[in-house]
Amino acid sequence: MNKGNTKTDMKSMTLSEMQSFVEQLGEKKFRASQIYQWINQKLVTNFSDMTNLSEKLRDRLESEACLHGCHMIQRQVSKDGTNKFLMKLWDGNTVESVLMKYHHGNSVCISTQVGCRMGCRFCASTVGGLLRSLTTGEMLDQIYEIQRITGERVSNVILMGIGEPLDNFDNVVRFVRMLSDEKGLHISQRNITISTCGLVDGIHRLMEEDLTITVAISLHAPNDELRKEMMPIANRYSIAEIIQACKEYIDRTGRRITFEYSLVDGKNDTPDHARQLAKLVHGLNCHINLIPLNPVEGRMGDRSKRTNVLEFKNILEKYHSNVTIRREMGSDIDAACGQLRNKNKGGETT
């Protein structure tokens, strides 16, 4: 059976690409707007549901095109209302998406790759390496599927699930443009955050795209020596290069940068580390998000003690840093990225 890998995937198409595609099929251009709306606003998953198209056209699309999306196969609901979804892709691979409910709206955290090749020592997503990157349609459909399931509107999207977004650059940028498009879900770029382990080249490329998204940098250590012990990517880019790229990003876009700092007991959470971090970011228009480590079996580290977390925060504040401790959501449901997928590996594969 043709599983769709030789067909053209319409879920990843921009409107103008779709217009060329339908014209190639000998159809009128306005059909593209109709199909685009079915996919990206009405969130249908089959050509047969596109009822304002002729049956002939629907059949034609069925044989020549496909809609590669996500299908939820497992859902965990945390006591705090956080929902974690295991999503199956057309080829049997799985990724995770998380829905977090805040009073200001619903946030969804999506995956950008199947696995990851960055190798951060404390992270569950990188176990087993990178299998492949997600298409734009597969990233969009994590949000679409959550809206289909819950019937609720998503207002914030963070690219902090499995994978390194800037290692899937082109698809991620296209994703941001389509998600914020008024002909799609029209989520403001200001409400979209890309989290990166600090691929400096990618940050420079991102500047050229003129997006108004928020960039979050996973720093996790205030000096290169320690960062290398936690994150192999630190062997490629120094903290100085990252900070320089951030400065340029802030100057160019006017956007504030977020630094993520996962606190690992006895590793990167001492008062001295806090002072080093404060000096590093001094004068930068940034926000520091402290994340008590979510310990993963077989991976580096334990969670910092609460008193150390608070002291770390106090020191940063003394240096006038803008800092928050991330509210831990869903820790009772394998919410550290990659945990649910790892648990299900070897399970359902078809």
Q: Which residues contact 307 (CB under 8 A, 6 or more apart)?
A: none
**Cβ–Cβ < 8 Å for 158, 128:** no
Distances (CA, A) of 246 to 108, 189, 286, 323: 25, 18, 9, 17
Residue 183 Cβ, how far from ligand SAH at the closest point, in Å? 28
Map residues 119-158 to x or -, x wherever contact with ligand SAH holds by CB under 6 A. Answer: -x-xx-----------------------------------
DSSP tag of 90 = T
CA distance 158 to 214: 9
Is 196 a binder of ligand SAH (CB under 6 A)? yes
- Quick one: 162 or 211, whose CB is closer to ligand SAH? 162
Map residues 42-81 to x or -, x wherever contact with ligand SAH holds by CB under 6 A. Answer: ----------------------------------------
Residue 218 Cβ, how far from ligand SAH at the closest point, in Å? 3
Is 225 one of the annotated active-site residues of the chain? no
Q: Which of 17, 11, 12 is nearest to 29 (CA)?
A: 17
Among 195, 258, 308, 321, binds ligand SAH (CB under 6 A): 195
Q: Which residue has the tokens 């990659």?
A: 338
DSSP alpha helix (H) spans, 97-209:
136-150, 169-180, 200-208
Map residues 15-34 to x or -, x wherever contact with ligand SAH holds by CB under 6 A. Answer: --------------------
Is 164 one of the annotated active-site residues of the chain? no
CA distance 55 to 131: 38
Catalytic-labelled residue, pool 27, 66, 96, 120: 96
- According to CB under 6 A, which residues from 325 to 344 bind ligand SAH? 336-337
Is 296 a binder of ligand SAH (CB under 6 A)? yes
Is 12 a binder of ligand SAH (CB under 6 A)? no
Q: Which residues contact 270 (CB under 8 A, 6 or more apart)?
A: 308
Residue 41 Cβ, how far from ligand SAH at the closest point, in Å? 28
Interstrand relation of 83-88 and 94-102 (parallel, antiparallel or unpaired)? antiparallel
**Cβ–Cβ < 8 Å for 86, 344:** yes
Contacts with ligand SAH, residue ranges (CB under 6 A): 118, 120, 122-123, 160, 164, 195-197, 218, 260, 262, 291, 293-294, 296, 336-337
